[in-house]
């Protein structure tokens, strides 16, 4: 991954179209998105790699409720030292995912939820792995982490699920999401789709051996949320862009307030228009900056014709 700033092919298409067509097909750039783990910008890109919600979305669970174990007495406990802020919440807790040694497949369940899952809004949660030694306990082949979404009271094999392999996880905080603007990538359990409201979730971790245990602080869960597509973008600062027609330059200013996009190490930025299918006109990758409620980010972009 390399830092950089480019105008995408779609951005060039917008410029040409709006310059030379008497009735342009495309709207101008007027809003922006930010992201995490963004790769080197490419003129062929049509979106950021991992776009994140700027506004809060909806908290499914804030990470302050205890999860119930099954098939071996797995459970959770409050952790006030390792937490993720965001989604407008300030509970200051995550959940230690605790285990005993009865099975390599370890599960934690939560129901009821603060808000139910929706098949029209994507979802995500945070999973923390404290050290390389803990990371080594995750099974190396196949599914190391699975999120199941269910209707409480359904048969155990009726659910939607989303998988991660060990290679898709890392030491530290992991943002577990399908990275879509719609709910894609979900599979259905052997018993079929849930029958009603999606008001229960199960986190399942598979370790190499039954005796691979998690103590307090080893693996933590925090903040399950969902969001609308509109939560992923924000309009520019009022009165921008400004035009300098002498130097053939347009200046854009985009701002993330102290209440927005908290909990993320932001390294991606992009400008979009508001066509029915939004078109990404620019893409930038920067050195990652941690965003918290004590920060306000301002992105200043200058596009110049030379």
Query: Per residue in 224-234, pLDDT tens?
Result: 999 999 999 99
Sheet holding 297-304, edge to edge: 242-244, 249-256, 297-304
Q: Give yes or no: residues 72 and 201 share one domain.
A: yes
For the chain, give the percent of residues with pLDDT over 90. 88
Domain of 220 in residue numbering reads as 58-227
Q: Give yes or no: residues 252 and 163 share one domain.
A: no
Q: Give yes or no: residues 11 and 115 share one domain.
A: no
- Backbone angles phi and psi of 138, in degrees to 5: -70, 140
Q: Give yes or no: residues 112 and 47 share one domain.
A: no
For the chain, the domain total comes to 2
**Pick from 177, 197, 227: which residue ends a domain?**
227
Is the pTM for the entire model greater than 0.75? yes
Return the pLDDT at 63.
95
CATH number at residue 138: 2.60.120.260
Q: Give yes or no: residues 165 and 256 share one domain.
A: no
Q: Give yes or no: residues 221 and 267 share one domain.
A: no
Q: Give yes or no: residues 39 and 87 share one domain.
A: no
| Residue 152, burial from CB neighbour count under 10 angstroms (0-12, 13-18, 19+) | middle
**Pick from 211, 227, 243: which residue ends a domain?**
227
Return the pLDDT at 74.
59
**Pick from 170, 194, 227: which residue ends a domain?**
227
Q: Give yes or no: residues 13 and 97 share one domain.
A: no
Q: How confident is the model at residue 102 (pLDDT cuts 50, 70, 90)?
A: confident
Give CA–CA dist 160/154, Å, rounded: 12
**Regarding predicted confidence, which is higher, 13 or 182?**
13
Q: Give yes or no: residues 247 and 199 share one domain.
A: no
Q: Give yes or no: residues 95 and 108 share one domain.
A: yes
Q: Give yes or no: residues 47 and 68 share one domain.
A: no
> Which residues neighbour 86 within 8 Å (Cβ) at sequence distance 6 or greater?
56, 223, 225, 261, 262, 263, 264
Average pLDDT over residues 168-174: 97
Q: Give yes or no: residues 93 and 147 share one domain.
A: yes
């Amino acid at each position: 991954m390399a830092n950089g700033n480019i105008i995408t092919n779609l951005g060039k298409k917008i410029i040409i179209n709006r310059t030379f067509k008497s009735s342009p097909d495309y709207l101008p750039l007027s809003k922006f998105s930010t992201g995490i783990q963004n790769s080197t910008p490419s003129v062929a890109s049509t979106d950021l790699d991992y776009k994140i919600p700027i506004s809060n979305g909806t908290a499914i669970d804030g990470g302050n409720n205890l999860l119930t174990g099954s098939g071996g007495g797995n459970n959770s406990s409050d952790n006030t030292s390792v937490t993720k802020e965001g989604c407008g919440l300030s509970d200051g807790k995550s959940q230690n995912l605790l285990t005993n040694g009865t099975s390599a497949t370890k599960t934690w369940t939560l129901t009821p939820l603060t808000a139910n899952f929706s098949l029209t809004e994507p979802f995500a949660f945070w999973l923390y792995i404290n050290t390389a030694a803990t990371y080594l306990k995750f099974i190396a082949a196949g599914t190391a982490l699975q999120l199941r979404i269910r209707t409480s009271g359904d048969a155990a094999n009726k659910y939607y699920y989303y998988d991660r392999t060990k290679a898709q996880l890392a030491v530290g905080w992991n943002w577990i999401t399908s990275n879509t603007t719609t709910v894609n990538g979900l599979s259905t359990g052997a018993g079929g789709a849930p029958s009603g409201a999606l008001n229960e979730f199960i986190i399942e971790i598979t370790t190499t051996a039954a005796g691979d245990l998690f103590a307090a602080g080893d693996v933590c869960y925090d903040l399950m949320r969902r969001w609308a597509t509109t939560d992923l973008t924000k309009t520019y600062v009022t009165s921008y862009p400004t035009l300098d027609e002498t130097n053939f330059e347009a200046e854009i200013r985009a701002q993330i307030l102290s209440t927005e996009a908290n909990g993320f190490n932001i390294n991606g930025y992009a400008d979009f228009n508001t066509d029915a299918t939004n078109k990404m006109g620019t893409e930038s990758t920067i050195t990652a900056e941690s965003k918290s409620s004590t920060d306000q980010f301002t992105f200043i972009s200058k596009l110049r014709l030379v």
